[in-house]
Structure 1
Amino acid sequence: MSDSEEAKYTIGFVLIPEFSSLAFISAIEPLRLTNRQLDSKIYSWKFYSLDGQSAVSSAGLEFPVSGSISDITKHDCLIICGGLNVGDYCTAELKSALRKAVSYGADVGSICTGTYILAKAGLLDGYRCTIHWENTSGIKEDFPDLDITSELFEIDRNRMTCAGGTASLDMFLSLITAHNGEDVALGVADQLIHHRIREGSERQRMELRARLGIAHPKLLAAITCMESNLEEPYSCGELAKEVGLSIRQLERLFQKYLNHSPTRYYLKLRLDRARYLLAQTSLPIIEVALACGFVSASHFSKCHREHFGHTPSEERRIKVKTAS
């Protein structure tokens, strides 16, 4: 494989400050191994940052880059690598660079929270897309008209998005399959000790049973119902009826397995979602409150302070201070 050999498919990776290094490396390594396996420069890549300085990941790892977003040349594909606080870095110049790439006919995609930047640039209208599960509620509130799924990754025509983490590995293995055939992709996966290439339609999160370490079907059904109804929470009586238990039986189950009452556990789920919305969106606090099932901003503020030790507005100030 000659260094002067022209690559068949070129990719530009835009590394947003605080990007996920795991998700980024999981995208690069399958490309490198495809070149090695075929002994040909199938793929080449360049890295860019917002200002042309080395990009620093959320883990503090520093990566050299070829230039700033103003230096982006024509590529077959441009990928936004996101991570923490991605909304703080969605500049007009970045959105312009993305739109320019699309005008040249490039495929455009994202890793982890980079989906948010594509959405802000208006490049996901009419396309299926996905994002890390922790950010799903936030992006749905900001972009209610987008077709946002909870899939591991989505490749819809010339748009590709994934949930981050190791999902980028599976998305790029899928891309390699489309370009070079399944045998090549399986060989790359074997080199990575990745025993099975996951389909995009597979779930992001572990099953509730594994996540909580409990197996009681009625309790799992109750928690699933809670997680699906945060904006309009069920009463304890409605929840018990939904899963075929009495209120007393439901309370005993929650106390035995989770050391919480159903009401307290439900409140924690709603407050956790609210905390994500406060950090990930610019929604007014009253809208965050309503989206998480609170009837007023004052009730939300009281519950938030009791649970986290500070008010929702203080939560936002903490987030801004941390980002700066």
Structure 2
Amino acid sequence: MQKRDVYSHYSDMASDDLKNVQKIGFILIPGFALMSYASAVEPLRAANLLAGRDIYALSAHVVEGNAGMTSSGIPVPAAPLPGRGSGFHTVFVCAGGTPVDWNVPAVLACLRQLARDGVRIGGISGGPYLMAAAGLLEDRDFTIHWEHASALVEAFPGLAPRQARYVLDGNRITCGGGVAPLDMMHALISERMGSDFARRVSDWYLHTQVESSGAPQRASLAERYGVNHPGLLMVLEKMEATIEAPLDRQAMAKLAGLSPRHLDRLFSSQMGSSFLLEYRKLRLDHARRLLQQSPLSISEIAFATGFSSGGHFARSYRAAFGESPRAHRQPGSFERP
């Protein structure tokens, strides 16, 4: 009786939508994050419960086997990859880990075929990288998890991901992963069923603070660094934006309207560090991600992170991480030296 009452409450508002079931598929790449997947699937399941009937039909798919393995080692039952004429409304590809794990030709071919069939294609967390590899993001507005953004730009120089929680661009949907799919699904359910219904779904999961598409993926600079001086924050922001071509201390101080000595004092008092040490740490952390996630050679990574030579880069890297750049690169992940 309760289900019928809920259904009748919404049937006048969205009768056509409630009569039609949208097939939503999820292609799972081994090592995908369970949190990202659950954040996308659970709102759709709750929508079915609140509607009193299935308005979404959900399925998971893998290249081989009968389950997708999450990064935490939990298997998710799955069917083979969808083929032509499978009747899907939307198919998301969910990926985690690093791009070296995402070179799955069968998935790329599947995504291209689905796109040709008019299926809306989505990517969650690292999923947009596979969409890019399949050629589905040309001239599109899109996002990707911030950790994978630099690797995507290096692999596909013509593409520029936006730092947003999720992006809806017609028949292409991309999302940063983590809990961001909760916000994305709120938008998609609202688009189909209305904002009141979508709010009820979000309330089901205590998701009271629904973020907009353009909300940031990461905490603010002030929160990440634990500082609040506007001049220092300006310099830290510029540091993150100039990893490939670092600016010197004098130029940074001038940008923030500070003297070099005042800038030194701010780094010492608020961060317990120095301008040079923090800048080098940012660049080496970025280099570490590129070693794990991009096909760039070690020499190319050195120049992409502002080091004048491969030798200087290798010495700095070993001092910071206790091993050489070559040792940090995953065995067999990339062919170039």
TM-score (norm 1): 0.93
By how many angstroms is 1:181 displaced?
A: 0.8
By how many angstroms is 1:65 displaced?
A: 0.9
Written as runs of structure 1 = structure 2, the 5 A alignment for 1:232-311 is: 232-311=245-324
Q: Would the alpha carbon gap of residues 123 and 165 (structure 1) be closer, same or farther in structure 2, given more than 3 Å must change?
A: same
AA of the residue aligned to 2:254:
K
Written as runs of structure 1 = structure 2, the 5 A alignment for 1:103-182 is: 103-182=116-195
By how many angstroms is 1:71 displaced?
A: 9.6
8 Å Cα contact 1:30/1:169 also seen in 2? yes
SS in structure 2 of the partner of residue 110 of structure 1 = strand
SS in structure 1 of the partner of residue 329 of structure 2 = helix
SS in structure 1 of the partner of residue 46 of structure 2 = helix
Whether 2:206 is the aligned partner of 1:190: answer no
Q: Which moved more, 1:223-232 or 1:84-93?
A: 84-93
8 Å Cα contact 1:6/1:41 also seen in 2? no
By how many angstroms is 1:146 displaced?
A: 1.4
Percent of aligned pairs with the same amino acid: 36
Cα RMSD (Å) of the superposition? 2.0
By how many angstroms is 1:66 displaced?
A: 2.1
SS in structure 2 of the partner of residue 51 of structure 1 = coil
AA of the residue aligned to 1:227:
E
Structure 2: give runs of 5+ residues left out of the alignment. Answer: 5-17
Residues of 1 paired with 2:327 and 2:83: CA distance? 36
Q: Would the alpha carbon gap of residues 57 and 6 (structure 1) be closer, same or farther in structure 2, given more than 3 Å must change?
A: farther
Match of 1:99 among 112, 136, 144: 112
AA of the residue aligned to 1:210:
E
AA of the residue aligned to 2:270:
Y
By how many angstroms is 1:313 displaced?
A: 1.3
Written as runs of structure 1 = structure 2, the 5 A alignment for 1:208-219 is: 208-219=221-232
Residues of 2 paired with 1:52 and 1:104: CA distance? 25
Q: Would the alpha carbon gap of residues 318 and 223 (structure 1) be closer, same or farther in structure 2, given more than 3 Å must change?
A: farther
Q: Would the alpha carbon gap of residues 218 and 231 (structure 1) be closer, same or farther in structure 2, given more than 3 Å must change?
A: same
- Which whole-Å deviations, capped at 9, do the CAs of 1:154-182 have from their partners, x for residues lacking one? 11010000000111111111111111111
Match of 1:89 among 99, 102, 105: 102
Q: In structure 2, what is the equivalent of residue 16 of structure 1? A: 29
- Which whole-Å deviations, capped at 9, do the CAs of 1:192-231 have from their partners, x for residues lacking one? 1111321111111111111222212221111111111111
AA of the residue aligned to 1:276:
R
TM-score (norm 2): 0.90
Whether 2:87 is the aligned partner of 1:74: answer yes
